[in-house]
Amino acid sequence: MLLVINLGSQLAHLIARRVRDLGVYSEIVPYDISAEKIKALKPKGIILSGGPSSVYEKNAPLIDNEIFNLGIPVLGICYGLQLIGKAFGKVENYQIKEYGKTSLKLKKNGKLLEKLSKDEQVWMSHGDAITNLDKDFEVLASTNSCKLAAIENHKKNIYGLQFHPEVVHTLKGTEIFRNFLFRICKAKKDFNISDMKEKLIKEIKETVGNNEVLMATSGGVDSTVAAVLVHHAIGRKLHCIFIDHGLIRKNEKEEVDAKYRKYFKFENYYSVDASAIFLKKLECISDPEEKRKIIGHTFIEVFEKHAKQLEKKHPKIKFLGQGTIYPDRIESAQPSKQASKIKSHHNLTLPEKMNLKVIEPLKDLYKDGVRKLGKELDIPKEILNRHPFPGPGLAIRILGDITKEKLEIVREADNIFIEELKKSGYYDKTWQALAALLPIKTVGVMGDARTYEYIITLRAVTSVDAMTADWAKLPDKLLGMISNRIVNEVKGVNRVVYDITQKPPATIEYE
């Protein structure tokens, strides 16, 4: 087992996931865990995550420095490295900050950077940096503005990186983790998704017992895998409700109904059209957070109403199943007292008003892990490779207030975009693609007439886990074809733009 000490980073769980991907079981623990407790857990290694704080800030998350004396290998990442610097040297705030892709220059490989080249692409995100360290530390690499970008101390078994090996934009990040896990920690491969499938099914059976489970399903990858997993465990004791809030993609309801009723053959699947209720409550609402809250609360009301009807017929319904995965939890709640909240997630509000115990079988998995589990459950590839679609749906892809006209515009534009991506083969090469409607109009010319219509912005990204993402390099010809189709076929649009911003600094969705 390897421990990841969470120092408030939005990427702490991503580190744990990288470790698990290499076959080593990992657990995340809070930064205030004692050295004594860590010793009792007997981990093979410890990773200190990054974080948004400065080590000298008031109330900055600090660790028990006795951790460094346990003899257990420690790897500090970004803020985690700066904690090492605070304990064994000096950390200062740099005038020159480093954010994004950077070139790492290796002085020597050591154990940590074994098999890396003299010049490597890494991902930086820091303002502070170590300026001095005890003589037992060796400097392995630097960047143009950071002299101590990678360090190691064989005597104390302490290692550190100022960059983030957990993100995909650090090209040899996996190799660095492999070096730490197997060369330094001597860890054993003891974790895989196949084992998790059987373990989760067993846990669900034991938890539910003779009772029954109610689930809200969106038809997306997460909720589908969660529902099929629970169905494998308890069969007809599972009840699934699909709520059409009027903010879904074109033909979505028909496709989801067919999937659950005909393909998966769920015995108890219910489809509810509540679009009129949601659209009425969203009238004149522009603030994205308010949209999410309204959708979340309305979802609860609609879901609770139908849940109560089901509970009368099926009094053994005692559990609420959810397809919550790691990124939902990270971006919706604070994984530690120091983490920065990004946005609320409407699904996570479901249990607040319901008298049901919650089951979240996917809560420790990232999207790629969910897809691997789905494959183990024999879910078809075309379902597993479906792009993520947000719970609030098109509501957060319409910037500003929502109207039926705007919904129709963005729904048709999105359908054209996805349709052309699939035809061209680029759908499976991108993590997520979407069309969004900007709240401004521009002048255009169609035929001999001037127009004053909306702008559609297209966004397609490549990613592994949605924690970081790069814009997809779609061919000019393909983008041109999509733009022409949208302008010609979607009434109310006279301009199409393509978003080329990475995450961070941007998010994948617009709201």
The residues annotated with a catalytic role in the active site are 78, 164, 166
Q: What is the CA radius of gyration of the chain?
A: 25
Residue 358, classed as helix, strand or coil, is: strand
Residues 6+ apart with CB under 8 A from 491: 409
Burial group, residue 303, by CB count within 10 angstroms (0-12, 13-18, 19+) = buried
Residue 161, classed as helix, strand or coil, is: strand
Contact criterion met (CB below 8 Å) for 286 and 400: yes
DSSP label of 262: I
The single-letter code of the amino acid at 107 is: K
The encoded tokens of residue 326 equal 């790691």
Q: How many whole angstroms separate alpha carbon 141 and alpha carbon 149?
A: 5
Rounded to 5 degrees, φ, ψ at 393 are 60, -140
**Cβ count within 10 A of residue 415:** 17
The full 3-state SS of 368-405, as one line of letters, equals: HHHHHHHHHCCCCHHHHCCCCCCCCHHHHHECCCCCHH
